Amino acid sequence: MSAKFLMIVPTALTLAACSPNTPPATETPPPPSAEGASCGAGQFAGYVGRKATDDVIAAITKARGDQPLRVLRPGTAMTMDYRQERLNVDIDDTDTIKRFYCA
């Protein structure tokens, strides 16, 4: 065996010992769907497909009481924090309510 080979093997073993033995971090699982979630998204299904007029949004807000509500139109900036009690109203570019979901 050459001297070069004998110097490489210990170096390779040392580096291998320094590598982490922990598995790579996995992604955070997505939040639960609206079905059965605590924000009550299912109770507003009758509004899907309707125009998001001020009166409609006011009626949804009133029905929510003091529970958090977030209206999301195209281009609306939003935080990525998950709050299971918050109802999100997803509105498309024609100002039509597309869906309700908890987040």
- Residue 90 forms part of a structural domain: yes
- Residue 17 forms part of a structural domain: no
Asked if residue 98 lies in contact with residue 92, where contact means CB atoms within 8 angstroms, the answer is: yes
Q: For the whole model, what pTM was predicted?
A: 0.63
- Residue 61 forms part of a structural domain: yes
- Residue 12 forms part of a structural domain: no
- Residue 6 forms part of a structural domain: no
Which CATH number covers residue 82?
A: 3.30.10.10
pLDDT at 10 over 90: no
- Residue 91 forms part of a structural domain: yes
Structure tokens that stand for 70 in this block: 């977030």
What is residue 8's predicted lDDT score, i.e. its pLDDT? 66
Structure tokens that stand for 98 in this block: 């597309």
Q: Based on the structure, what is the number of domains in the chain?
A: 1
Residue that wins the pLDDT comparison between 12 and 44: 44
Bridge partners of 100? 89
pLDDT at 34 over 90: no
Asked if residue 39 lies in contact with residue 85, where contact means CB atoms within 8 angstroms, the answer is: yes
- Residue 48 forms part of a structural domain: yes
Bridge partners of 51? 96
Domain carrying residue 55: 41-102
What is residue 58's predicted lDDT score, i.e. its pLDDT? 96
Tokens 């807000």, located at residue: 61
pLDDT tens-digit readout, 37-63? 589 999 999 999 999 999 999 999 999
Tokens 């109203």, located at residue: 89
What is residue 2's predicted lDDT score, i.e. its pLDDT? 61
